[in-house]
Amino acid sequence: MSAIALRGPARVVLAQHRRPLQLLAALPVLVVVVLAGAWLWTDHVMDTFAATGCSVQHTTPGCGDTVREFLDRRQWMRDVLDWSGLLMMVLPAFVGIFVAGPVIGREMENGTYRLALSQSVAPARWLAAKLAVPAVVTLASVSVLSAACAWARDRADRTHQGQEWYERTVYGSMGTVPVGYALCMLALGGLAGLVLRRTVTAMIVTVIGYGALVAAVNSVRDHLWPTLTDTFKQGSGYRFPDGAVGVRTGWLTHSGRRLPDNACLDWASDFKQCLNEKNIDLRFRDYHPASHFWPLQLVETGILLALAALAVAVAFRVLRRRHG
């Protein structure tokens, strides 16, 4: 995107905030280089270790230092993945802060937005440019970052270095959810800057809003898609599916009624009597298998985009009430 190719308010926005937008656009390139370089180096270390004939499971004499060095290098790769996941989780907050503060809040506080509105620019067009230009850069950058994190974690999973898909730094760094959070916070930041009209206040409120949003979505995520349920007898040797995340466990009575997992906690001295008196027949476990990654991602992203659209609609309504 160049200022030459744009006209009107969009060109002004790009010129005003060139440095932050360039940094946001360059961030995926830096992350891709770091992840690719880290993986190539780790892959080389793994090939070198395999050529030594040493084994992590069965350490042979003379291999102690070699195994430790190999494990240190593998842990380093996991640390790189953790930091990339953390970056993806905090990036939406910075996007919201940027829009709430420098892009809209500062102009509302200083009154410089009046200059744009006095140049035959409709208020709606001014706000659309303020939101659209960062949104395009954010969409492109976060999409590339999400794809890069998914690529790196896929390579790590193949060598048993990865983490489970449901861990927050993993789930929040791949798929469509990072894009949803970034666009949602961009919209909420714009609304905060427009309503509060104070740079610092709008930025603080945006950070608080992001924390509240993350906490709320995390609390309901397990219920965004129907879980699978396994039933089994106590002590039957039931094995929980690999890669699944448990949601709820408990007991089933003969009639099919569910009881909590601690239903017989006070009957430790006579556990079997508790089962008989409460007519408990089986145990149950609700869970999300690994195949539910994309359904959960898409539903959560849809909710975030709906919130973003609502925030944008409210922002335009506020602007229309104040400036016609």
User: Which tens digits make up the pLDDT trace of 245-287?
Assistant: 999 999 999 888 999 988 887 776 777 888 888 888 899 999 9
pLDDT in tens, 181-211: 999 999 999 999 999 999 999 999 999 999 9
The C-alpha atoms of residue 173 and residue 87 are separated, in whole angstroms, by 8
Q: What is the mean pLDDT of the chain?
A: 87
Rounded Cα distance, 47 and 131, in Å: 48
Q: Where are the domains of the chain?
A: 8-220+293-323, 228-291
Q: How far is CA 99 from CA 54, 92, 112, 188, in A?
A: 53, 11, 16, 9
DSSP 124: H
Lowest model confidence (mean pLDDT) among 71-75, 85-89, 145-149, 222-226: 71-75
**Average pLDDT in the 302-316 region?**
96
Q: Is the pLDDT of residue 85 over 50?
A: yes
Look at the block and give the residue holding tokens 């360059």. Answer: 26
Confidence (pTM): 0.87
Contacts (Cβ under 8 Å, ≥6 apart) of 278:
251, 253, 259, 263, 264
Q: Is 180 left (phi over 0), alpha (psi -120 to 50) or beta?
A: alpha
Alpha-carbon distance of 173 to 154, in angstroms, equals 12
What is the per-residue pLDDT across 119-166, written as a single tens digit (0 to 9) for each?
A: 777 888 889 999 999 999 999 999 999 999 999 888 876 665 567 889
The residue behind tokens 């539910």 is: 292
160: tokens are 């048993």
Per-residue pLDDT at 231 exceeds 60? yes
Question: Of 195, 76, 179, nearest to 137 (Cα)?
Answer: 179
15-32 pLDDT, tens digit each? 888 898 999 999 999 999
pLDDT of 4 strictly over 60: no
Q: Which long-range contacts (C-beta less than 8 Å, at least 24 apart) are formed by 197-205?
A: 197/105, 197/108, 197/109, 198/105, 198/108, 198/109, 199/100, 199/101, 199/102, 199/105, 199/106, 199/109, 200/101, 201/105, 202/100, 202/101, 202/104, 202/105, 203/97, 203/100, 203/101, 203/105, 205/100
